[in-house]
Amino acid sequence: MTDFKYCPLCASSLAVQERDGKHRLACTNAACEYVHWDNPTPVVAAIVTQGPHVLLARARGWAADRFFLIAGFLERGEHPDDAVLREVREELGVSGHIVEFVGYYNFALRNQILFVFQVEITSDPVLGEEIVEVKRLLPADVVPWERGTGPAVRDWLERHRMRP
């Protein structure tokens, strides 16, 4: 649940109520009928490859040992295929092409649904405002993490038999 206290439509208070068999925040004004459904936010992520390497990125402000996939939110009306290529272009400064759709993954901790792709790039990344470091690893050296995009990395490595 969120920390919302007031209805965005009528400014009445919100309270937890049962709707469709689940507890949801809903407006206390019977005439309003607003319900906060708390649907997951769609996010795209790219397992970026360049030749034999997997590229992991570190964002500005992250700890020196924290590297992850390129990821970002879809924009209104944007197809996930276009969104993942846009994110790679924006964050790494290079174009790429989709090699495969890896899968979709529920990231409940952040209430997100992740659409994960493998994206191949052919030129070197250009560091910019968001990304301050890129690490190139052979697939056998990539250790999947437990949450977020980690399960997608694990599945991709196993699918391609790149992990012992």
State the pTM of this model: 0.88
Q: How many percent of the chain have pLDDT more than 70? A: 98
Cβ proximity of 157 and 138 under 8 Å: no
Higher-confidence position of 82 and 20: 82
Whole-number average pLDDT of the chain: 94
Q: Are 103 and 118 in contact (CB under 8 A)?
A: no
Condensed to tens digits (0 to 9), the pLDDT of residues 17-31 reads 999 899 999 999 999
- Model confidence at 8: pLDDT above 80: yes
For residues 157 and 68, what is the distance between their CA atoms, to the nearest angstrom? 15
- The first and second tokens of residue 163, run together, are 């992990």
The CATH superfamily label for domain 41-159 reads: Nucleoside Triphosphate Pyrophosphohydrolase (3.90.79.10)
- Is residue 46 a contact partner of residue 55, using CB atoms and an 8 Å limit? no
pLDDT tens, position by position, 147-163: 999 999 999 999 998 76
pLDDT at position 162 is 76
- Higher pLDDT: 84 or 38? It is 84
Indicate the domain borders of the chain. Answer: 1-38, 41-159
Average pLDDT over residues 95-123: 97
Look at residue 164 and tell me whether its pLDDT is greater than 60: no
